[in-house]
Amino acid sequence: MALPPLQDLIACPHCDTLHAAATLPDGATASCQRCHAVLQTARAGAMVNVVSLAVAAFVLMIAAISFPFMDLNAQGNHNATSVFSAITAFNTGMAVPLAVAVAMFIIILPLTRLVAIIYAIGPLARGVTPRPLARQAFGLAETLRPWAMAEIFMVGVTVALIKVAGLASVTLGPAFWAFAGLVIVTIVKDQIMNRYAIWEALDKATQARA
Amino acid sequence: MGSIGQSHASTGLITAREAGLVACRRCGQVHALGTQNCTRCHGALQSRDAQSLQKVWAWLIAGIVLFIPANIYPMLLTNTLIERSDSTIIGGVVELIHYKSYGIALIVFVASIMIPIGKFIAIAYLAISVQQQSILNMHQRHKLYDFVEFIGRWSMIDVFVVAILSALVQLNTIASINPGIAALSFALSVIFTMFSAQSFDPRLIWDADRKNR
Ligand SMILES: [Zn+2]
Ligand SMILES: [Zn+2]
């Protein structure tokens, strides 16, 4: 059986079924014929949007970790904490590994992922040659995807607020709203970011240079 | 059985493996069989991960084992002027019901109890069905896998609740909250189960369809 050249083929990552890559009209989506996983999408301007949202998320993230997150007040005793000071305040027993895990999931991994996305896709959005490690960077961003848990943290914050309501009064700080904005921006960004479209764009941009 | 047989025999779909190729799971690029690393994303290539199921079982068992202390030992240690109390995961849910926060109680219960247990069962079922080369419900099993991959990380909610409460509630003598040992074993249980789901190669679900033909 004669196969088309390898670069014109896409194998579904979920079920391994081979497909011929199509040139899609703008707005179209191609799915696996066997398991219906989305394989290709064509969205004009998607790269620019992804990069702008990633930059916005990065700025919000910095605000969210440096400003006060919440202020707790019980009978005159105050405790205002930023996410950063909260994490560094953990220094005894069971709290240490927990603080490390929380720092990884809500700060270090999400920030690494954002930097990797901006590094890899930024030049694509501007229509210039991709950076030398763009592929490794985007691969890293993909690997980190399930481990960046900002949105889950936000639900945790809500639950914690309700639990503490009986004990003390809580005032939300600017970092809380920065974090809420970050969650929304991240969700929108991941919605419009199609991994196969980005790999394809990286291929095309590299070929154009060669 | 008719519809299952027809599902792809009549459409003539072939897999990369049958075409003598190996596909990258991360980016979809296909290569000649035997290629070590993806030319596109530099990820390691494997036509099928032979050790996939062993890794799935190893991480899954580790996850289940740690889920036990996570439920027995206290998650939160609360000290107030009046009392000192420890609460387990279930204890925390009961407390929320007591405060009439039914919606939040439900979220915590689903995230901390139902999702982890449902995930253990779902991953074990997927692994066993692949080992038995079952050709039943392939679409449903694939959807189940996608769902398990998507939902697993949400179990982390209660760990974050504990972390936030212990950071926030440190009011000298009036009240303080500290994490218990269950917080750590629960976090590890969630992480190990996520590794287990990620080790599963969903292409194995569809492979059985071909071997039996
Ligand atoms: Zn497929
Ligand atoms: Zn690849």
Please report, for chain A, the start and end positions of each structural domain, with discontinuous segments joined by +: 45-193
**Cβ neighbours of B149 in A, within 8 Å:** 146
**Cβ neighbours of A15 in B, within 8 Å:** 15, 142, 202-203, 205-206
Domain around B181: 50-212
Count interface pairs A-B at CB distance under 8 A.
211
Which of A25-29, A106-110, A142-146 has the weakest average pLDDT? A25-29
Give the count of beta carbons closer than 10 Å to the beta carbon of residue B54.
12
In this prediction, residue B6 carries a pLDDT of 34
In chain A, % helix, strand, coil (3-state, to 5) comes to 60, 15, 25
B135 and B67 inside one domain: yes
Token pair in block for residue A126: 């501007």
B41 and B68 inside one domain: no
Name the pTM for this structure: 0.86
Query: How many domains does the structure of chain B reveal?
Result: 2
- pLDDT digit string (tens) for chain B, length 213 residues: 222 233 344 356 788 888 888 888 888 888 888 888 888 888 888 888 778 899 999 999 999 999 999 999 999 888 877 788 888 999 989 988 988 888 889 989 999 999 999 999 999 999 999 988 887 888 889 889 989 998 999 999 989 988 888 887 776 667 788 888 999 999 999 999 999 999 998 888 888 776 555
B82 and B31 inside one domain: no
A17/B30 CB distance under 8 A: no
Picking from B14, B41, B83, B189 by the largest number of A CB atoms within 10 A of its own CB, the best residue to mutate is: B41
* Single-letter amino acid, residue A77: N
**Cβ neighbours of A94 in B, within 8 Å:** 178-181, 183-184
Nearest CB to A196: which of B15, B27, B206? B27
In this prediction, residue B210 carries a pLDDT of 66
B205 and B146 inside one domain: yes
Q: Which residue has the higher pLDDT, A40 or B162?
A: B162
Q: Is the pLDDT of residue A158 over 90?
A: no
Picking from A92, A133, A143, A163 by the largest number of B CB atoms within 10 A of its own CB, the best residue to mutate is: A163
Torsion of CA B96, B100, B104, B107, to 10 degrees: 80
Give the count of beta carbons closer than 10 Å to the beta carbon of residue B94.
13
In this prediction, residue B1 carries a pLDDT of 27
Residue B189 in contact with residue B196, Cβ under 8 Å?
no
B87 and B36 inside one domain: no
* Single-letter amino acid, residue B187: A
B24 and B86 inside one domain: no
Q: Percent of chain A having pLDDT more than 90?
A: 20
B40 and B54 inside one domain: no
- Rounded distance from Cα B145 to ligand 1 centre (Å): 13
Handedness of CA B205, A190, B199, B38 (dihedral sign): positive
Residue B88 in contact with residue B70, Cβ under 8 Å?
no
> What's the number of CA atoms in the CB half-sphere (13 Å) around residue B104?
23
Segment holding A180, helix H or strand E: helix A174-192
The whole-number average pLDDT for the span A147-173 is: 84
B82 and B184 inside one domain: yes
In this prediction, residue B8 carries a pLDDT of 42
| A81: helix, strand or coil | strand
B38 and B55 inside one domain: no
In this prediction, residue B62 carries a pLDDT of 97
Beta-bridge partner residues of A30: A40
**Cβ neighbours of A11 in B, within 8 Å:** 15-16, 21, 23-24, 28-30
Q: Which residue has the higher pLDDT, B113 or A8?
A: B113
The whole-number average pLDDT for the span A134-156 is: 89
The whole-number average pLDDT for the span A137-165 is: 87
B107 and B33 inside one domain: no
In this prediction, residue B3 carries a pLDDT of 29
Quote ipTM for the complex. Answer: 0.84
B12 and B82 inside one domain: no
Which has the closest alpha carbon to A107: A62, A70, A141? A62
Ligand that comes closest to the CA of residue A202:
2
In this prediction, residue A34 carries a pLDDT of 85
B105 and B208 inside one domain: yes
Q: What is the pLDDT of residues A60-98, one digit of tens each?
A: 999 988 888 888 777 777 777 777 777 776 766 677 888
Q: Measure Cα distances from B136 to A161, B5, B11, B209 in Å.
A: 46, 11, 19, 9
Segment holding B94, helix H or strand E: helix B89-98
Picking from B11, B18, B27 by the largest number of A CB atoms within 10 A of its own CB, the best residue to mutate is: B27
Distance separating the N- and C-terminal Cα atoms of chain A: 31
Give the chain B residue whose CA is nearest to the CA of A84. B167
**Cβ neighbours of A9 in B, within 8 Å:** 16, 21, 30
Give A5-51 as a DSSP string.
Answer: -GGGEEE-TTT-BEEE---PPTT-EEE-TTT--EEEE--TTHHHHHH
The phi, psi pair for A40, rounded to 5°, reads: -140, 145
Q: What is the CATH number of domain A45-193?
A: 1.20.140
Q: Is the pLDDT of residue A209 over 70?
A: no
Which has the closest alpha carbon to B69: B160, B159, B162, B185? B185
